[in-house]
Chains A and B, each alone.
Chain A
């Protein structure tokens, strides 16, 4: 069961990837789906046993490395934290595999797509069940690889290739920091196995590395790694571009699972972070800033998938600042509910794109709600959950995050609370902007496209409906377990809250207006969207003209890409150019080329002596003799 949940996806990936050519696309697709169903069953059972019944286990597979003091194994660590992730990942991945069968039906190489998708799932599961940092890093890089392959899946598109490379390279920046963090962990603790590290934290509270408290440094380094994977402010630029991949990929990797790996990492390392207050403050500030920053950009984007991508970025910011104020459980809860409604939103968007003949610009949509009613309904559900409207999943988790931020009573906590509040308002606004522009109003697509608008096939609708159920119910059902009264028994020590951390109690004792505020903000945002885009459609245009600078600033995503291009990309290219033209072509190539032409010259000279005339030869001999004799006589 424990092993099956992880390795069924790998089996599926191998079948589809290596045998897909022989067994045919249909068989390859369905074999991965079946493997995923089996994995999901195993995952759910594991969740039941580990999280609900409270029996964490660690399954050791084989010793991986045993070098000097460094020893670790391939092992599956099933505690509640891992079990939650395994159940969620396998469940959502199964639905997305199923959805992809319909979505990718017109593709030419679906077996390759499904192989990548299953490979990704396997790597993600490796990541979450790792019992040491090396295995976690293996999964970490594995999901990065799968992400690269899937973003660039349509490799004949230049933009897809660029996006894939961008995602990979930006992630490398975070990975360097992650690796440094792992190395420093080994330096400080002498081990990279979680149990050993966590047990040894109290002995290393005073350790310093280069004058900086070692735990703080580890925390910050690991967090920068997490920033890369989870697209936090500064390293977020790859996520919107990653929407070049097929939509199911966006749903699975760039919304529900991979991008949350950073949050998972912070929660997993909670015993270390708990004793690194500065690192936690950094996490809070970066998370809160991202939440606000991404929400502002989301308000003006026109590509349906990019809007949702910035929304993802923003929601990840929420999770980080929840973890930053010490409420890891709340962060995990939001991660869990977010996975459902964000996957739902992406798949719904995919359904819209499918219906609109691959059109992604919401300015060219509109007036299609009656033609695709089911998609329309599930998009509503997804957006209600995202906006945090009461009794949908997002309401429980987002409220809890803001309460926790408020309850932390620290400067950074209040900053996070404020950012979160504004972001909640903006989230609701851009969600309904998306909804209204996409489905309502007069049709702005051409006649030909409108005629072909159709509801998606059942194989795509079933996953949508299941996720919609999740988006409605997961908050209500799981809130008591994740963050409510059963929280202690549920987590079973998988997440550590130090003695000084009472946030989970404090968050229930905030003033009465605090739990209400996010809902008010959400409804306000929705109302504003209705005013702007339904009742008085002229206002957005006038605002954009009036605040042209601000509008362009947001539309161009705060000019991050341009900034990075100017600071890093172009200087690097110029430097490379110098090395290539001068260093390589002139100096390095010049030396052997010069030597070679010299050799040719010498050879010509040597051959010219060879005249073919005996007299010359004899003369050369005599000259040589004379030279030697004189040399001999002088040197004597």
Chain B
């Protein structure tokens, strides 16, 4: 048996069960210690991922390579910081229950399974393990109608997406006779042509995964859920699961369906174009900053998918770098959003940031850094994320993608810069409450990363390069 290869997931699963039991037993609420224990387990899992050898296990269902390592670290990091971000908010909003971090932990296990999936079945298993906790935490503020609505919408549409994915998998299995990625790859490379059934199956699989990364046209749930869910949940949604779903999409398309690239490339190109355009334009009129961030994340997924549409090592490297930078600056931004409270009540309109530059300069400066970075202004990290995907697109001759990407990032610069303008030039709307230490730490950490990535980009680039190479085999 080679089950030891899956040690990170196994350890995390056992830790989750132990923490669950330990959280139930005490009389008083155990939100804080459980959160700490979850973060600790995630860190332990991260260490194990770092020491993980390469190979396949569990009867070919599970694969570990540089790509899975890179993505898992990103997902675990996103999840751990997501828990950190929720500490203060949940306590103040009365959501401080121990199940919350635990659900995030379980979702993280799902992500890791997804990332390491080497079979359509383990893919589905991981995806559901991720989705179920997400449905619950989206509706975690069950006294709020909006939160409940968000959870329900996400559940209904998520179920539809899962159905599409499962149906696509069954089609592929029916026509190719296997669900294992390696053997699928062999089957498609051996055959001179592919049957229509396989093609339809692939599109269904893509649709199911595109739902998770909220790419156009499977993005409709995103603004509503982002707005309705508690802000730390939104922060979590925007970071870790996106990483996992993008990883899965990349692995499925480049791995088993790699030889059909010429066919799915146009679908991914369309999805990318649509996401960039929608993300650029629809956010312009938004007044709710969480909703704005939802459209922003749709746009970012479009840019990242540009790297996948190119489907070579430069493109995949761009995709991975983009996701890493996106997660970092997104968590920083949400740290600011979570810190937005006035007289103890959470506020989430763009106007509530007015005059922040005068009332709380530190927070305003970090927010400005994130906004400039998301708009892709050099020398901040966001610029380099865009640079690498645009570079790949131009080199491979995907001019349409590159041109539309540049134009939509100009459009999106408007609403990012508007936030900066509101913070620094509008009359103060009243001071916000001071940000708690945990959030300040996250802001500063991701802010520093965003600011100084330009000085030391080599490690990230090298890791992304290795991961992309591993994926392409």
Q: In B279-322, which residues have CB < 8 Å from any A CB? A: 281-286
Q: In B183-233, which residues have CB < 8 Å from any A CB? A: 194, 196, 199-200, 202-204, 206-207, 211, 216-218, 220-221, 223-224
Cβ–Cβ < 8 Å partners of A600 in chain B: 284-285
CB 8 Å contact bits of A600-628 with B (1 = contact, 0 = none): 10111011011010101110110111011
Q: Which of B75-83, B262-270, B346-354 contacts A (4 or more CB under 8 A)?
A: B262-270
Q: In B141-155, which residues have CB < 8 Å from any A CB? A: 153
Question: Taking the complex as formed, is A599 at the interface, i.e. its CB lies under 8 A from any CB of chain B?
Answer: yes
Q: A632 contacts B267, CB within 8 Å?
A: yes
Q: A604 contacts B285, CB within 8 Å?
A: yes
Q: A628 contacts B220, CB within 8 Å?
A: no
Q: B267 contacts A616, CB within 8 Å?
A: no
Question: Taking the complex as formed, is B429 at the interface, i.e. its CB lies under 8 A from any CB of chain A?
Answer: no
Q: B207 contacts A624, CB within 8 Å?
A: yes
Instruction: Give the distance in Å from the alpha carbon of A355 to the alpha carbon of B281 in the complex.
Output: 74
Residue in contact with A621 in the complex, picked from B161, B270, B282, B285, CB distance below 8 Å: B161
Instruction: Give the distance in Å from the alpha carbon of A612 to the alpha carbon of B153 in the complex.
Output: 9
Question: Taking the complex as formed, is B47 at the interface, i.e. its CB lies under 8 A from any CB of chain A?
Answer: no
Q: In A291-319, which residues have CB < 8 Å from any B CB? A: none
Q: B220 contacts A621, CB within 8 Å?
A: yes
Cβ–Cβ < 8 Å partners of B282 in chain A: 603, 606-607, 610
Residue in contact with A633 in the complex, picked from B156, B157, B196, B221, CB distance below 8 Å: B196
CB 8 Å contact bits of A211-244 with B (1 = contact, 0 = none): 0000000000000000000000000000000000
Residue in contact with B284 in the complex, picked from A603, A624, A628, A631, CB distance below 8 Å: A603
Q: B263 contacts A635, CB within 8 Å?
A: yes
Cβ–Cβ < 8 Å partners of B281 in chain A: 599, 602-603, 606
Q: A620 contacts B217, CB within 8 Å?
A: yes
Q: In A588-605, which residues have CB < 8 Å from any B CB? A: 599-600, 602-604
Q: In B392-409, which residues have CB < 8 Å from any A CB? A: none
Also in contact, A614 and B206, with CB within 8 A (given A623-B217, A635-B263, A636-B199): no
Q: A629 contacts B157, CB within 8 Å?
A: no
* Cβ of B161 to closest chain A Cβ, rounded Å: 7
* Cβ of B289 to closest chain A Cβ, rounded Å: 15
Q: B220 contacts A616, CB within 8 Å?
A: yes
Instruction: Give the distance in Å from the alpha carbon of A476 to the alpha carbon of B206 in the complex.
Output: 106
Question: Taking the complex as formed, is B164 at the interface, i.e. its CB lies under 8 A from any CB of chain A?
Answer: yes
Instruction: Give the distance in Å from the alpha carbon of A635 to the alpha carbon of B270 in the complex.
Output: 13
Question: Taking the complex as formed, is B278 at the interface, i.e. its CB lies under 8 A from any CB of chain A?
Answer: yes
- Closest B residue to A609 by beta carbon equals B220
Cβ–Cβ < 8 Å partners of B161 in chain A: 621
Q: A628 contacts B207, CB within 8 Å?
A: yes
Cβ–Cβ < 8 Å partners of B211 in chain A: 621
Q: A621 contacts B217, CB within 8 Å?
A: yes
Also in contact, A621 and B160, with CB within 8 A (given A607-B285, A610-B223, A633-B196): yes
CB 8 Å contact bits of A360-396 with B (1 = contact, 0 = none): 0000000000000000000000000000000000000
* Cβ of B291 to closest chain A Cβ, rounded Å: 9
- Closest A residue to B220 by beta carbon equals A617
Q: A625 contacts B203, CB within 8 Å?
A: yes
Cβ–Cβ < 8 Å partners of A623 in chain B: 217
Instruction: Give the distance in Å from the alpha carbon of A398 to the alpha carbon of B264 in the complex.
Output: 96
- Please tell me the size bucket of the interface on B: 35 or more
Instruction: Give the distance in Å from the alpha carbon of A612 to the alpha carbon of B221 in the complex.
Output: 8
* Cβ of A612 to closest chain B Cβ, rounded Å: 6
Main secondary structure of the interface of B (DSSP, over half): helix
- Closest B residue to A600 by beta carbon equals B284
Q: B164 contacts A625, CB within 8 Å?
A: yes
Q: B284 contacts A612, CB within 8 Å?
A: no
Q: B221 contacts A617, CB within 8 Å?
A: yes
Q: In A553-611, which residues have CB < 8 Å from any B CB? A: 599-600, 602-604, 606-607, 609-610
Q: A618 contacts B160, CB within 8 Å?
A: yes
Instruction: Give the distance in Å from the alpha carbon of A557 to the alpha carbon of B282 in the complex.
Output: 67
Cβ–Cβ < 8 Å partners of A602 in chain B: 281
Q: A628 contacts B199, CB within 8 Å?
A: no
Residue in contact with B220 in the complex, picked from A599, A610, A633, A636, CB distance below 8 Å: A610
Instruction: Give the distance in Å from the alpha carbon of A623 to the alpha carbon of B274 in the complex.
Output: 14
Instruction: Give the distance in Å from the alpha carbon of A46 to the alpha carbon of B267 in the complex.
Output: 88
Instruction: Give the distance in Å from the alpha carbon of A604 to the alpha carbon of B281 in the complex.
Output: 8
Question: Taking the complex as formed, is B173 at the interface, i.e. its CB lies under 8 A from any CB of chain A?
Answer: no
Question: Taking the complex as formed, is B411 at the interface, i.e. its CB lies under 8 A from any CB of chain A?
Answer: yes
Cβ–Cβ < 8 Å partners of A636 in chain B: 194, 196, 199, 263
Cβ–Cβ < 8 Å partners of B285 in chain A: 600, 603-604, 607
Instruction: Give the distance in Å from the alpha carbon of A599 to the alpha carbon of B263 in the complex.
Output: 32
- Closest B residue to A603 by beta carbon equals B284
* Cβ of B12 to closest chain A Cβ, rounded Å: 32
Q: B199 contacts A625, CB within 8 Å?
A: no
Q: A632 contacts B199, CB within 8 Å?
A: yes
Q: In B236-273, which residues have CB < 8 Å from any A CB? A: 263-264, 266-267, 270
Question: Taking the complex as formed, is B32 at the interface, i.e. its CB lies under 8 A from any CB of chain A?
Answer: no
Question: Taking the complex as formed, is B124 at the interface, i.e. its CB lies under 8 A from any CB of chain A?
Answer: no
Q: Counting chain A CB atoms within 10 Å of each CB, which of B196, B204, B206, B220 scores highest?
A: B220
Question: Taking the complex as formed, is B414 at the interface, i.e. its CB lies under 8 A from any CB of chain A?
Answer: yes
Q: A614 contacts B157, CB within 8 Å?
A: yes
Cβ–Cβ < 8 Å partners of B160 in chain A: 618, 621
Q: Counting chain A CB atoms within 10 Å of each CB, which of B156, B202, B284 scores highest?
A: B284
Cβ–Cβ < 8 Å partners of A607 in chain B: 282, 285-286
Q: A628 contacts B270, CB within 8 Å?
A: yes
* Cβ of B421 to closest chain A Cβ, rounded Å: 15
Q: A624 contacts B217, CB within 8 Å?
A: yes
Cβ–Cβ < 8 Å partners of A618 in chain B: 156-157, 160
Cβ–Cβ < 8 Å partners of A614 in chain B: 153, 156-157
Q: A632 contacts B263, CB within 8 Å?
A: yes
Instruction: Give the distance in Å from the alpha carbon of A600 to the alpha carbon of B411 in the complex.
Output: 10
Q: In B113-155, which residues have CB < 8 Å from any A CB? A: 153
- Closest B residue to A599 by beta carbon equals B411
Cβ–Cβ < 8 Å partners of A627 in chain B: 217
Q: B218 contacts A624, CB within 8 Å?
A: yes
Q: Counting chain B CB atoms within 10 Å of each CB, which of A603, A607, A629 scores highest?
A: A603
* Cβ of A40 to closest chain B Cβ, rounded Å: 56
Q: A628 contacts B157, CB within 8 Å?
A: no
Q: A621 contacts B207, CB within 8 Å?
A: yes
Instruction: Give the distance in Å from the alpha carbon of A591 to the alpha carbon of B220 in the complex.
Output: 32
Instruction: Give the distance in Å from the alpha carbon of A612 to the alpha carbon of B411 in the complex.
Output: 25
Instruction: Give the distance in Å from the alpha carbon of A610 to the alpha carbon of B270 in the complex.
Output: 20
Q: A617 contacts B153, CB within 8 Å?
A: yes
- Closest A residue to B286 by beta carbon equals A607
- Closest A residue to B193 by beta carbon equals A636
Q: Counting chain B CB atoms within 10 Å of each CB, which of A602, A610, A636 scores highest?
A: A610
Instruction: Give the distance in Å from the alpha carbon of A617 to the alpha carbon of B224 in the complex.
Output: 11
Cβ–Cβ < 8 Å partners of B221 in chain A: 617
Residue contacts A-B, CB under 8 angstroms, 14 given? A599-B281, A600-B285, A603-B282, A603-B284, A609-B220, A610-B224, A620-B217, A620-B220, A621-B164, A621-B218, A627-B217, A632-B202, A632-B203, A632-B264
Other 13 A-B pairs with CB < 8 A, given A606-B282, A616-B220, A633-B199: A603-B284, A610-B223, A614-B157, A617-B157, A618-B160, A620-B220, A621-B157, A621-B207, A621-B217, A628-B270, A629-B199, A631-B267, A635-B266
Q: Which 6 A-B pairs have the closest CB atoms?
A: A624-B217, A617-B220, A606-B282, A603-B284, A602-B281, A603-B281
Q: Give the interface of A toward B (CB within 8 A).
A: 599-600, 602-604, 606-607, 609-610, 612, 614, 616-618, 620-621, 623-625, 627-629, 631-633, 635-636
